[in-house]
Amino acid sequence: MDLEELKFLDKTILIKKKENLNDSFKIKSYKVKLKYMEDNIILQKKIEEILNHLFFKDRSISSKTKNSISKIIYSEKDKIIIIITQNGKDIIRNRDKLVRNYGWFFYISEQHTEQKKFKEKPKKKAEKKQERTISSEEFQYEDLRIPLKQKENMRPLYHTKEYRHYLKIIKSENVKQILLKDVLNNLFFNNESIPTEEKKGIRKIIYYQEERVIVIKSLVGDEMYENLDSLVKKYGWYIYITGVPVGKSDISIAIDKIERRFDLDYFLNISLIDEESKSGDIRLTIYPIILKVFLKRMKKMR
C-alpha cells in the first residue's frame, strides 16, 4: 500500500505517487545527478525509509524547513522527489548529500498543486540558449599557466560535421567520458604522442561538459590533430583545435568602420599611420593557422 500522508509535529503532509513525471522536472542538474548516481552505483532507497529518516533523524534539514512542507510528490521510475514548500533553500543546499544518502533527486517547488506542472503544455519553439561561462581557472604546465574555462550552450561554430562524426563514434562504442582534469593531466604529462612543442603552444582551453567538446586554442597542433582518432577514443571527448589571436589591429578597426559606415567622406581626415611613431609602423592582428589541421578539417567536411 502506497504512503498517502505523513505526520510531522502538528502538521499532516500529503504524499502522492506518480508513475511518470513531466519533462519540466527533468532539469539539467537532475540529469547530472542521475549520471552521478549511475556512475557511483548509489542505491535508490524506498520512499518510506527516506521520509522517516529525513523528517525524524536527519539534522541537516531544519525543523522549520520540514514544517513548511505542504506536499510531497514522487516517482520511483524517475528517481525524483518533489517537495512543495515556500522555504526550500535548506534542501537545495544539502541536495548533494541527499542524493548520496537516498539515491533520489530532490526537486523544490512553491506550487501547492501539481495540476499546472503535469498538464501537457503546447510545444513552443525552443528558445536559443546563449553560451555562458560556468567556471574559470588555470591549468599549470611547467612554466605555463593556461586559462581554462568551462562553458555551456556550445556555440554553433563547433557543431561541425567532424564533431558529429566523432560524437557518433563515442556513443556507438560506449567510450567513457574521462574527467576533464584527468584528461589534461594525461595529455600534458603522460601522452608522448603529442610533442612538448605543441603542448607549450597551447594558449587557452575551453570545454563543454554536456557536448563532450574540448576547444584547444594553440599556436601549433599538427600532431594533436594527427592523433585525434586515438585521443577521442581514449578520453571520450572531441578535441577542436584552432589558432589564437595575437595583438591589436588598427587595420581591422578601420575595416570595421568601413563595414559600418559607407560614407567615403568619413575617411578623408583619418590616417592609419601612427603620427607619433617614428617608424610609422602599423600594428596588425595575426591569426596563426595550423595549416595541416585546417586543410585536413576542410577535406573531412567536404
How does residue 203 score in pLDDT terms, banded at 50, 70 and 90? very high
d(CA 51, CA 81): 10
What's the confidence (pLDDT) of residue 49? Answer: 92
Query: Across residues 165-179, what is the average pLDDT?
Result: 94
What's the confidence (pLDDT) of residue 151? Answer: 94
**172: its cell numbers:** 556507438
CA-wise closest residue to 39 among 134, 103, 135: 103
Query: Across residues 201-223, what is the average pLDDT?
Result: 93
- Is there a contact between 73 and 18 (Cβ–Cβ < 8 Å)? yes
What's the confidence (pLDDT) of residue 281? Answer: 59
| 167 & 107 share domain | no
How does residue 208 score in pLDDT terms, banded at 50, 70 and 90? very high
Residue 119 lies in a domain: no
| 136 & 239 share domain | yes
What's the confidence (pLDDT) of residue 284? Answer: 59
| 138 & 226 share domain | yes
Name the average pLDDT for the chain: 82
| 223 & 273 share domain | no
What's the confidence (pLDDT) of residue 220? Answer: 85
**Cβ contacts of 31 within 8 Å, gap of 6 or more:** none
pLDDT tens track for 27-74: 999 999 999 999 999 999 999 999 999 999 988 899 899 988 989 999
pLDDT tens track for 120-141: 555 566 667 889 999 999 999 9
pLDDT tens track for 244-294: 765 555 545 555 555 555 555 655 565 655 556 555 556 655 555 555 555
Q: Which residues pair with 74 in a beta bridge?
A: 17, 81
| 187 & 295 share domain | yes
Q: Which residues pair with 82 in a beta bridge?
A: 73, 107
Q: Among residues 114, 149, 178, which one ends one of the domains?
A: 114
Structural domain of residue 272, as residue ranges? Answer: 247-285
**235: its cell numbers:** 578520453
| Whole-number CA gyration radius for the chain | 27
Query: Across residues 8-20, what is the average pLDDT?
Result: 87
| 293 & 182 share domain | yes
What's the confidence (pLDDT) of residue 117? Answer: 46
Residue 159 lies in a domain: yes
Q: Which of 97-101, 174-178, 251-255 has the lowest mean pLDDT?
A: 251-255
| 295 & 147 share domain | yes
What's the confidence (pLDDT) of residue 181? Answer: 94
pLDDT tens track for 75-90: 999 999 999 998 888 8
| 281 & 214 share domain | no
Total domains in the fold of the chain? 3
